[in-house]
Amino acid sequence: MRILAIITGEYGQRHVDNIRARGHEHWRIEVWQAPWVLPPIVHYPEDYLHPSLPATDLLLAFGEHKGVAELVVEAARMTGAKSVIAPVDREEWLQRGLSVQMRGWLADMGVVCVTSMPLCSQTETHYNVKRHRVEYDDPLIAEFARHFGQPKFNITVNPQNKIITQVEVVRDAVCGCAHHVAQGLVGVHANDAEQEAGLLHHHYPCLAGMGVDPDFNDTLMHVSGNIMKEQVGEQVRPYKEVRYVVPGKRSD
Q: Provide the residue ranges of all domains of the chain, joining segments of one domain with +.
A: 2-147, 152-239
Q: What is the radius of gyration, based on Cα positions, of the chain?
A: 21
pLDDT of 150: 97
Q: What is the pLDDT of residues 43-90, one digit of tens each?
A: 778 888 988 999 999 999 999 988 888 899 999 999 999 999 999 999
Helix (H, G, I), strand (E, B) or coil at 61: strand
Q: What is the pLDDT of residues 216-230, one digit of tens each?
A: 899 999 999 999 999
Do the domains at 2-147 and 152-239 have one common CATH topology? no
Q: Is 230 exposed, middle or buried, given 0-12, 13-18 or 19+ CB atoms closer than 10 A?
A: middle
Kindly indicate whether the domain formed by 152-239 is annotated with CATH number 3.30.110. Answer: no
pLDDT of 108: 96
**Residues facing 154 on adjacent strands:** 168
Distance CA 176, CA 218 (A): 23
Measured in whole angstroms, the distance separating CA 158 from the mean position of its chain's CA atoms is: 30
CATH code of the domain made up of 2-147: 3.40.50.720
Angle at 209 between CA 116 and CA 204, to 5 degrees: 95
Q: Check the CA dihedral 201-205-210-216 and report its sign.
A: negative
Confidence tier at 192 by pLDDT (50, 70, 90): very high
pLDDT of 46: 85
Q: What is the pLDDT of residues 106-158, one digit of tens each?
A: 999 999 999 999 999 999 999 999 888 999 999 999 999 999 999 999 999 99
Answer whether 60's CB lies under 8 Å from 85's CB: yes
Helix (H, G, I), strand (E, B) or coil at 3: strand
Q: Is 232 exposed, middle or buried, given 0-12, 13-18 or 19+ CB atoms closer than 10 A?
A: buried
